[in-house]
Amino acid sequence: MKIIYLHQYFNKPNMPGGTRSYEMALRMVQKGHQVNMITSNRQNDIQLGKWELENVEGINVHWLGVPYNNRMSFIKRIKAFIIFAYLSGLKAISLGADVIIATSTPLTIAIPAIYAKKKLNIPMVFEIRDLWPELPIAIGVIKNPIIKYFSKKLEFWAYKNSEQIIGLSPKMCEGIKMRSSSKKKVHNIPNSADIKLFQIKVNDVRKFKKKYNLKSSKQLVIYAGTLGKINGVEYLVEIAQRFIKLNNNVNFLIVGDGGSLESITSKAVNYNCLNNNLFLINQLPKNEMPALFKVATLSTSLFLPIKEMEANSANKFFDTLAAGKPIAINYGGWQKDLIQKHNVGLVLNQNPKNAAKYLDKLLRNEKLLKQMGRNSLKLARSNFSRDKLANKLIDVLESCVEK
């Protein structure tokens, strides 16, 4: 097959952020398919509208210059979405394909996908990474009633024009089915565990520790991901502050970047945590994440108490499983069910005082920590292997073309 893969925020392994599209496209190439990835170059100094072509391990990556970062205002983000939607649609038509797959967010990725689908007369597969626009409406990012109206119309239009739809969690799939006219074409293909990537050598861990000055023999609790308002990572600062008196054998490490970085830093300074028992590192490329997780005693995935977020399929959750480490989360939903069913970690409530007590109790139980780590890797292999889930996605694409 000749595949057009539309993802505005595609990342290579040497870039910060999730690499789902890279990993999936790589396996498509390995199966003998031709993949044209259409994406954006988000660097601030990049020339707007400039195209560059790069071959990444057999994937033809077409980079469009559209500066973007998560500190931009809502209006500037919308402008970036529209520019990318217009120019990427034209690029897709010029390349041609047997099938097109578009992955959100943003939801505007559906516009070039549908345009190319109609012009090229090819099937379209739409992948939902978040329940857009339900989530931004719930957290107040989209307030304007006109924008809400057209966002919902765009969502219905995307579903209507898709031969197949991918959701990254069971809850997402339920939400899609409620809004989609067809209930037979929705597939649950969650984020995946890159098991081989996370099984690294001891020497690589030593190099990582030296590079980031992580010499302490203390236990280490990490958060690795976006520092956005919705993540509420200040919660971990609250917990770290309590651990100063509760357990001085534990350090906390926040790795990432985002609009809440200043708030997190300020709170850590005010609580006398920063560089005491809580440390900050800027976002890391995916190929350094295995060493980070190997250093960690326990990893966390955090969100504000917003019901719509319970459908999330956070990369950090699956990276933790792949690394064979315990996971702690502070929200409900399908990941909570997985943790409790398979005994792979801890579900904390939103009260930092109570959460700190439960976390301390677990961290003092070395035997349970090791068992949870083994359970995590077992769950990764049985349910979330990247190879297995990539094959499922490829099967969906092939079924569209064979019709």
Could you report the per-residue pLDDT of 102-152, keeping only the tens digit for each? Answer: 998 888 999 999 999 999 999 999 999 987 777 777 777 777 888 888 888
Residues 93 and 169 in one domain: yes
C-alpha distance across the termini of the chain, in Å: 13
Alpha-carbon span 154 to 179, nearest angstrom: 12
CA dihedral 22, 24, 232, 322 (to 10 degrees): -100
Closest to 256 measured CA to CA, from 230, 228, 218: 228
Judged against a pLDDT cut of 70, whether residue 62 lies above it is answered with yes
CA dihedral 356, 359, 365, 367 (to 10 degrees): -170
Residues 118 and 216 in one domain: no
Catalogue the E-assigned strands of 130-193.
164-167, 186-188
Alpha-carbon span 231 to 253, nearest angstrom: 15
Residues 199 and 188 in one domain: no
Say whether pTM exceeds 0.95: no
Alpha-carbon span 380 to 113, nearest angstrom: 32
SS3 220: strand
Closest to 221 measured CA to CA, from 17, 322, 363: 363
Residue 276: give the domain boundaries: 195-383
Average pLDDT, the chain: 93
Number of domains in the chain: 2
What are the b/e assignments for 39-66, b being 16+ CB within 10 Å? bbbbeeebeeeeeeeeebeebbbbbbbb
CB-based burial label for 353 (10 Å; 0-12, 13-18, 19+):
exposed
Residues 389 and 357 in one domain: no
Closest to 246 measured CA to CA, from 366, 371, 352: 352
- Quick count: other Cβ atoms within 10 Å of Cβ 206? 12
Q: What is the pLDDT of residues 247-268, one digit of tens each?
A: 999 999 999 999 899 999 999 9
Residues 29 and 164 in one domain: yes
| pLDDT attached to residue 181 | 67
Q: What is the pLDDT of residues 191-226, one digit of tens each?
A: 999 999 999 988 988 899 989 988 778 999 999 999
CATH of the domain at 181: 3.40.50.2000
Residues 377 and 393 in one domain: no
Using 50, 70 and 90 to split pLDDT, how confident is the model at 354?
Answer: very high
Alpha-carbon span 210 to 285, nearest angstrom: 17
